[in-house]
Chains A and B, each alone.
Chain A
Amino acid sequence: MLDISFAYSRYKFLGNEFLTWLWFIIEQDRERLKQIEKDLVFLHIGNRIVLENKINDAVETITILGDDAGLEEGILSLGKGAVVTEINLLYKSGDNEWRFTIKGESMNISNLKIPETAIVESSEDIEGMVLEKAYLYEKVTKLIDTLFNEFIKLRVSGKWSEHIVPEIKKWIYSEEK
């Protein structure tokens, strides 16, 4: 395995490509999402998406905010060479709903809101609450891992440049029109 800090910089682009691919899958291939997560009710783009475009040495950042924000500007940015660096997602599985943000570079999860759990009233409730919370955190991290595993296997295969990238380009330019 490579040195960790070198690998972090060298492969920064992977996480951003993952989020860009994920946006494409959410918009264009919901069937695949259902295959990945059997109990999936939906996986939607939430209230925040950040894109970055490197032009020579300058970095242009585009942030789209708001629950009902149109994502057209994001698509336009993709067409100009940007990639997604941060995305807020809404995830529903069974009767439960999660909302969270993933950062491509670090894969850190922030603003994670899990389904409501009971309130801890005494120290005896703590054990049950930890297990319940752990299950709910596990559920969302498992989803991210499964999606990432699917992505990375495609990314290191010939399919990526032969099929996936042309499909993503087709999506970007058809949405632009």
Chain B
Amino acid sequence: MGLFSKTVSMARYKVDGKFEGQILETVAGGLKKNMVPEIDGKPVEKAVGWTSFENPFEPGFKGSSFSIGTYLVFSMRIDRKVIPAKVIKKHIAVEVAKLLAVSGRNFFSKDEKKAIKERVINALTIRIPATPNVYDILWDYEDAKIWFFSSLKAANEEFETLFARSFNLTPIRLFPYTMAELTAGLTHAQRDALSNISSTKFAK
């Protein structure tokens, strides 16, 4: 589900920290440096990185194409190769049978079996195409706020890590406490009161 979907889910963030240097240049640098790498045909199980909103399967950030008004629009892509356990099991069995026949032995040691398993997984990882998941991001840099178009915990955690690494800024997830602290405009006295409250009983 993304920014243009008919139905969306979102988590919201407040960005902590200030840009060093020009905004667009800094963001472009962070996006390009952390662009999602291609892992098809490689022995890599997972890749996480930025991609363009317009063409998520052809990552690239020409000029300031990601800037629209006061918004920065781009996407995070997580590519993952998932090999079903039964496929791994089958290929290991085939490989073990083949190697036993060639070597004339009756069995392999634990370490040898482990090495065969790793080799099989590696070979399958190269052959299997990665499944991509794309998550859109709308960043209002004037108000330092972000809409991340997914509420999946794992995707949000990947986003937080990648964002901090790319731009040297911390995205703070907005949930009840952080909304009260960062966006509700509470006074010092109200914040002190917040630190002491406990849950209310609405029942008699």
Contact = CB atoms under 8 A, between A and B. Distances in A.
Interface stretch (A41-49, A62-70, A166-174): A166-174
Given A14-B177, A106-B11, A131-B69, A137 B201 contact: no
A134 B11 contact: no
A17 B182 CA distance: 19
Contacts of B151: 103, 106, 108-110
Interface string A114-128: 000000100100110
B203 A81 contact: yes
Contact of A8 (B4, B175, B186): B175
A51 to B, nearest CB: 11
Contact of B194 (A109, A123, A156, A168): A156
Interface residues of A, number: 57
A30 B59 CA distance: 48
Contact of A130 (B9, B73, B198, B203): B73
B186 A165 contact: no
Interface of B: 3-4, 6-12, 54, 68-69, 71, 73, 138, 140, 147, 151, 172-186, 190-191, 193-194, 197-204
Given A134-B71, A169-B202, 9 more contacts: A1-B178, A17-B199, A105-B175, A106-B11, A108-B9, A109-B151, A120-B4, A137-B10, A161-B200
